[in-house]
C-alpha cells in the first residue's frame, strides 16, 4: 500500500495534478526523495505481505494433505474393520451351520478351533473341555500346539490360569501382555509356546460351565470389541451344540434301555391316549405299536377295572406318581396278566402336566413263586412240628436210656468189682483175668453211653453250667492223677506247666475237667511207651486263657486234620483196632468249649507228635457273644438266647458213684 501511495504522489507531482492543492500540500514538506522513500517502504511491505501469504498458502496445503492422508487411513481402517467383521460373521455363520448339520462334538471342536484361529488371526487357538469334577480343563481341540498335546494336555481349572480365571469370572478375558498380567499367571502350556497375549471366553451351558474357548498370539496385542463378540458367538454355538448332542446321546441311551427292557413302557397324553409303545409292551400285551397309537389306555384294563384306570389317570393329571401298584391287565388274546404298575406325570415346558409315563412289570411268575413259597413254608412248618415232636421223643428216649442203660451197667460194674477184689469169695487168677475183661468192656460201654448222652444234650442246647472260682493248677493235677496209672503203665512222663497269671479262673470245673480229660486220655492213648505228654495252661488274648496238651505220639497226617472234632470219626481203621474209642471225645470237647464262646484246634507233625488246644474265657459268666455258626447256648449268666439245661459230666459221674455204692450195699459190703 505504501509503495502504491509513493508512486501515485510522484507521478501526480510531475504531471501538475497537485497544483490546485499545492497551498495545502505546501504545509507538508514533500520532495521527490520523500516520495521515493514512501515508495521504497511500500515495496518492502508489499514483498513481506506476499511472502507471508505464500507461507500461509503452503502451510494450508500441507495441512490439507495431512488431513486427506488421515481420512484415507481412517477410511482404510474402517474398511479393514468392516472386512474383518464380515469375515468373522461369515466364519461364525459357517460354524453354526456345521453345528446344525449334526457333526460329532470332536469334529465340531476341531472346526471351532480352526475358525477361532482364522477369525482372530491367532498363532494358537484352543477348545478346552471341563473335566468331570471341575478341577481341570482338557485340551479337546486346538490349532498351533505342539504335536501330541491335543487330547491329552490339561490345565488347572482354578483362578491361577488364564482359562481358569475365565471360568471363575464367567466372562471374556483379554490380555494384551501376559508378562505384565497380575490377575493370574500364564500356564506352562502358554509359556512353552512363547505366547504373549490372548483372548478367552467361557463356554457356558444352561446348568453350568462346559469349558473355555481361546486364542493366543506370540506378540502383545489389543483385542477389539468385535473380536470379543466373535469369540462369544462361537462359544455360544459350541455350548448349544454340546448340550444338544449330550441330550441326544442321553435320549438315545434311554431309548435303547426302554426298547431292551422286558417291562412294558409306554407314554400317553393327559386324556389317556397312547403315544409311545416299546417292544416290551408288544411282548407283554401282544399289540404292535401301530395298533395302539392314539387308543385309550383303558383298552388294557378288564371291564371291571375301568374305574381303577380312570383313577390312575386322574392321579397323573394332578401331578401325582404311583409306585408298584399291583393290578391286572388284559392281553390282545384275552388272557389276563398280573402286573405291577409305576406311573409318573410328564410335564411340559410351562410345568403343566402334559401326559404320563407308565411302566408295567409282569409279576405273574413272581406270584406263582410266592404261592409255591407259601406252600413250601407251610410244609416246612409241618416238618418243623414233626421234628420238634421227634426231638421231644428223643429227649424222652435219652432220659430213659440214661436210666435203663446206666443203672444195669453200674450194677454189672459194681458186682464185677466185688468179685474181682475177692470180697464175695476166693477168685482164681484165670477168673480174675476174665473179670478184668468184663470190667474193661463194661466201663468202655458206660463211657460210650455217657459220651452219646452228653453230646446229644449239648447239641440240643440243654447245657447247665455251674461256674465257680477254680484253681487251675489243682484241677490239672487232679485230672493227671486220674490218668497217671495209664502213663505209668506205658512209662510215659506226664509234665504240667501252669502260668502264674492264670492260676485262678471262673468257670465250670466239671466241664473243664472233661475237656482236659478227653485231651489227656487221647494223648496217652496215642503216645508210645517211653514217650512224653505235657499239659500247659497259659494266657492268650485279654480275658482268655489257653489249655494245651502236647504229646510225642504217632502224629496226624495233614489230609486227616479236617476229620478231627467230628462225631464218630476215627482217623484210621487200623488204628481203631489198636486204639479203642468211640470217636466222640473230641467232638464233645469241641461242643463244650464252643458253648462257652471258646474255640478248639490242633496241629501235628506225623511221627513227631501233636498239640491239641482249647481257648476259653477266664470268666465264664462274662463270655463274649458267639459266632454266627456257633451254638446259641452259653454259660449261665453269659447272655445266651435261651436258658441252657444240661446235666454236666460231673453230675453224671456222681450218679455212677451212687449206683456203685448202692450195688455194694445190696451185696452187704
In a domain, 485, yes or no: yes
492 shares a domain with 611? yes
Rounded Cα–Cα distance for residues 563 and 550 (Å): 19
183 shares a domain with 106? yes
pLDDT of 455 reads 62
In a domain, 236, yes or no: yes
248 shares a domain with 287? no
**Looking at beta carbons, which pairs linking 636-643 to residues 24 or more positions away fall under 8 Å?**
636/464, 636/465, 636/466, 636/467, 637/467, 638/596, 638/597, 642/461
pLDDT bin (cut points 50, 70, 90) of residue 204 is very high
Average pLDDT over the chain, rounded to an integer: 80
In a domain, 38, yes or no: no
What whole-number percentage of the chain has pLDDT above 70? 80
User: How many residues can be counted in the chain?
Assistant: 669
Rounded Cα–Cα distance for residues 375 and 134 (Å): 56
Q: Are 553 and 515 in contact (CB under 8 A)?
A: no
Q: Are 150 and 106 in contact (CB under 8 A)?
A: no
pLDDT in tens, 351-365: 889 999 999 999 888
Give the domain range for residue 182. Answer: 102-252
266 shares a domain with 247? no
Average pLDDT over residues 502-524: 88
481 shares a domain with 343? no
pLDDT in tens, 454-500: 666 666 556 667 889 999 989 999 888 878 878 888 899 999 999 98
- The more confident residue out of 286 and 78 is 286
In a domain, 91, yes or no: no
The answer to whether residue 658 scores a pLDDT higher than 70 is: no
The answer to whether residue 526 scores a pLDDT higher than 80 is: yes
pLDDT of 238 reads 92
In a domain, 71, yes or no: no
Cell of residue 89, nine digits: 460373521
The answer to whether residue 369 scores a pLDDT higher than 80 is: yes
Query: How many domains in the chain?
Result: 3
pLDDT in tens, 301-342: 999 999 998 999 999 999 999 998 999 999 999 999 999 999
235 shares a domain with 153? yes
pLDDT bin (cut points 50, 70, 90) of residue 220 is very high
231 shares a domain with 296? no
In a domain, 563, yes or no: yes
pLDDT of 630 reads 36
Q: Are 38 and 5 in contact (CB under 8 A)?
A: yes
The answer to whether residue 148 scores a pLDDT higher than 80 is: yes
Q: Are 612 and 561 in contact (CB under 8 A)?
A: no
Rounded Cα–Cα distance for residues 463 and 647 (Å): 7
Average pLDDT over residues 343-355: 89
The answer to whether residue 548 scores a pLDDT higher than 70 is: yes
The answer to whether residue 231 scores a pLDDT higher than 90 is: yes
Look-up of cell digits 416290551: 280
The answer to whether residue 446 scores a pLDDT higher than 80 is: no
Average pLDDT over residues 24-42: 57
DSSP result, 617-657? ESBGGGPPPPPTTS-S--STTS--SS------HHHHHHHHH
In a domain, 222, yes or no: yes
What's 271's domain CATH number? Answer: 3.30.450.20
238 shares a domain with 327? no
Cell of residue 260, nine digits: 431292551
614 shares a domain with 496? yes
In a domain, 373, yes or no: no
pLDDT bin (cut points 50, 70, 90) of residue 603 is very high
HEC letters along 322-383? EEEEEEEEECCCCCEEEEEEEEEEEECCCCCEEEEEEEEEECHHHHHHHHHHHHHHHHHHHH
- The more confident residue out of 404 and 589 is 589
What whole-number percentage of the chain has pLDDT above 90? 35
Q: Are 247 and 109 in contact (CB under 8 A)?
A: no
What's 124's domain CATH number? Answer: 3.30.450.40
Backbone angles phi, psi at 490, to 5 degrees: -100, 10
pLDDT in tens, 550-589: 999 988 888 888 878 876 666 554 444 555 555 677 888 8
The SS3 of residue 130 is strand
DSSP result, 232-292? HHHHHHHHHHHHHHHHHHHHHHHHHHHHH-SSEEEEEETT-BEEEE-HHHHHHH---HHHH
Average pLDDT over residues 58-62: 76
Range in 172-186, 347-361, 439-453, 539-553 with the lowest mean pLDDT: 439-453
289 shares a domain with 208? no
Range in 131-145, 159-173, 232-246, 624-638 with the lowest mean pLDDT: 624-638
Range in 46-50, 99-103, 129-133, 649-653 with the lowest mean pLDDT: 649-653
Range in 154-163, 394-403, 603-612 with the lowest mean pLDDT: 394-403
Q: Are 581 and 523 in contact (CB under 8 A)?
A: no
107 shares a domain with 239? yes
297 shares a domain with 237? no
The helix (H) or strand (E) run that includes residue 610 is strand 609-617
Last residue of a domain, one of 362, 388, 419: 362
Rounded Cα–Cα distance for residues 457 and 463 (Å): 7
pLDDT of 57 reads 74
pLDDT of 582 reads 56
Average pLDDT over residues 110-135: 92
Last residue of a domain, one of 232, 252, 272: 252
Rounded Cα–Cα distance for residues 439 and 521 (Å): 18
Average pLDDT over residues 119-139: 92
Rounded Cα–Cα distance for residues 203 and 187 (Å): 19
The answer to whether residue 143 scores a pLDDT higher than 80 is: yes
pLDDT bin (cut points 50, 70, 90) of residue 668 is very low
Last residue of a domain, one of 233, 252, 271: 252
Rounded Cα–Cα distance for residues 41 and 587 (Å): 153
Q: Are 603 and 534 in contact (CB under 8 A)?
A: no
What's 482's domain CATH number? Answer: 3.30.565.10
The answer to whether residue 293 scores a pLDDT higher than 50 is: yes
Amino acid at each position: 500500500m505504501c509503495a502504491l501511495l509513493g508512486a501515485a504522489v510522484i507521478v501526480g507531482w510531475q504531471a501538475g495534478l497537485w497544483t490546485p492543492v499545492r497551498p495545502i500540500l505546501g504545509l507538508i514538506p514533500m520532495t521527490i526523495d520523500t516520495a521515493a522513500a514512501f515508495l521504497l517502504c511500500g515495496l518492502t511491505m508489499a514483498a513481506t505481505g506476499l511472502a507471508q501469504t505464500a507461507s500461509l498458502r503452503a502451510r494450508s496445503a500441507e495441512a490439507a494433505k495431512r488431513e486427506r492422508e488421515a481420512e484415507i487411513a481412517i477410511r482404510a481402517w474402517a474398511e479393514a474393520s468392516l472386512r474383518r467383521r464380515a469375515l468373522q460373521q461369515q466364519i461364525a455363520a459357517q460354524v453354526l451351520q456345521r453345528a446344525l448339520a449334526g457333526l460329532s462334538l470332536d469334529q465340531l471342536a476341531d472346526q471351532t478351533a480352526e475358525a477361532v484361529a482364522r477369525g482372530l488371526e491367532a498363532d494358537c487357538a484352543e477348545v478346552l473341555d471341563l473335566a468331570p469334577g471341575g478341577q481341570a480343563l482338557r485340551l479337546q481341540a486346538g490349532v498351533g500346539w505342539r504335536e501330541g498335546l491335543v487330547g491329552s494336555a490339561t490345565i488347572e481349572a482354578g483362578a491361577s490360569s488364564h482359562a481358569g480365571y475365565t471360568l471363575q469370572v464367567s466372562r471374556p478375558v483379554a490380555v494384551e501382555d501376559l508378562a505384565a498380567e497380575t490377575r493370574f499367571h500364564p500356564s506352562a502350556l502358554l509359556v512353552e509356546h512363547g505366547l504373549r497375549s490372548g483372548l478367552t471366553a467361557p463356554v457356558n451351558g444352561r446348568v453350568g460351565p462346559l469349558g473355555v474357548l481361546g486364542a493366543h498370539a506370540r506378540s502383545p496385542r489389543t483385542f477389539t470389541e468385535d473380536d470379543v463378540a466373535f469369540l462369544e458367538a462361537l462359544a455360544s454355538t459350541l455350548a448349544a451344540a454340546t448340550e444338544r448332542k449330550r441330550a441326544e446321546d442321553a435320549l438315545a441311551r434311554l431309548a435303547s434301555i426302554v426298547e431292551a427292557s422286558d417291562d412294558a413302557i409306554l407314554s400317553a397324553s393327559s386324556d389317556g391316549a397312547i403315544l409311545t409303545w416299546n417292544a416290551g409292551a408288544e411282548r407283554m400285551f401282544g399289540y404292535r405299536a401301530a395298533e395302539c397309537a392314539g387308543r385309550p389306555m383303558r383298552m388294557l384294563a378288564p371291564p371291571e377295572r375301568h374305574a381303577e384306570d380312570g383313577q390312575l389317570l386322574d392321579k397323573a393329571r394332578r401331578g401325582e406318581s404311583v409306585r408298584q401298584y399291583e393290578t391286572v391287565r388284559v392281553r390282545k388274546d384275552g388272557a389276563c396278566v398280573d402286573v405291577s404298575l409305576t406311573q409318573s406325570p410328564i410335564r411340559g415346558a410351562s410345568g403343566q402336566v402334559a401326559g404320563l409315563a407308565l411302566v408295567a412289570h409282569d409279576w405273574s411268575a413272581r406270584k406263582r413263586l410266592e404261592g409255591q413259597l407259601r406252600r413250601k413254608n407251610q410244609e416246612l412248618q409241618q416238618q418243623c412240628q414233626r421234628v420238634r415232636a421227634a426231638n421231644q421223643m428223643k429227649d424222652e428216649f435219652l432220659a430213659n436210656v440214661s436210666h435203663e442203660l446206666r443203672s444195669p451197667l453200674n450194677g454189672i460194674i459194681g458186682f464185677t468189682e466185688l468179685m474181682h477184689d475177692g470180697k464175695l469169695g476166693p477168685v482164681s487168677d484165670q477168673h480174675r483175668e476174665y473179670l478184668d475183661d468184663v470190667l474193661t468192656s463194661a466201663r468202655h460201654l458206660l463211657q460210650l453211653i455217657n459220651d452219646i448222652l452228653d453230646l446229644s444234650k449239648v447239641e440240643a442246647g440243654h447245657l447247665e453250667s455251674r461256674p465257680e472260682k477254680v484253681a487251675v493248677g489243682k484241677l490239672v493235677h487232679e485230672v493227671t492223677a486220674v490218668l497217671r496209672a495209664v502213663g505209668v503203665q506205658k512209662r510215659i512222663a506226664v509234665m504240667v506247666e501252669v502260668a502264674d497269671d492264670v492260676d485262678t479262673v471262673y468257670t465250670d470245673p466239671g466241664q473243664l475237667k472233661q475237656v482236659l480229660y478227653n485231651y489227656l486220655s487221647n494223648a496217652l492213648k496215642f503216645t508210645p511207651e517211653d514217650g512224653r505228654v505235657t499239659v500247659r495252661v497259659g494266657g492268650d488274648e485279654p480275658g482268655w486263657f489257653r489249655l494245651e496238651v502236647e504229646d510225642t505220639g504217632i502224629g496226624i497226617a495233614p489230609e486227616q486234620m479236617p476229620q478231627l472234632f467230628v462225631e464218630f470219626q476215627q482217623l484210621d481203621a487200623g488204628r481203631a483196632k489198636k486204639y479203642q474209642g468211640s470217636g466222640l471225645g473230641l467232638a464233645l470237647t469241641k461242643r463244650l468249649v464252643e458253648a462257652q464262646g471258646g474255640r478248639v484246634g490242633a496241629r501235628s507233625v506225623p511221627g513227631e507228635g501233636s498239640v491239641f488246644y482249647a481257648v476259653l474265657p477266664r470268666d465264664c459268666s462274662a463270655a463274649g457273644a458267639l459266632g454266627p455258626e456257633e451254638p446259641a447256648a452259653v454259660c449261665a449268666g453269659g447272655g445266651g438266647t435261651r436258658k441252657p439245661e444240661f446235666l454236666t459230666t460231673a453230675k453224671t459221674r456222681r450218679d455212677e458213684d451212687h449206683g456203685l455204692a448202692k450195688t455194694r450195699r445190696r451185696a452187704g459190703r
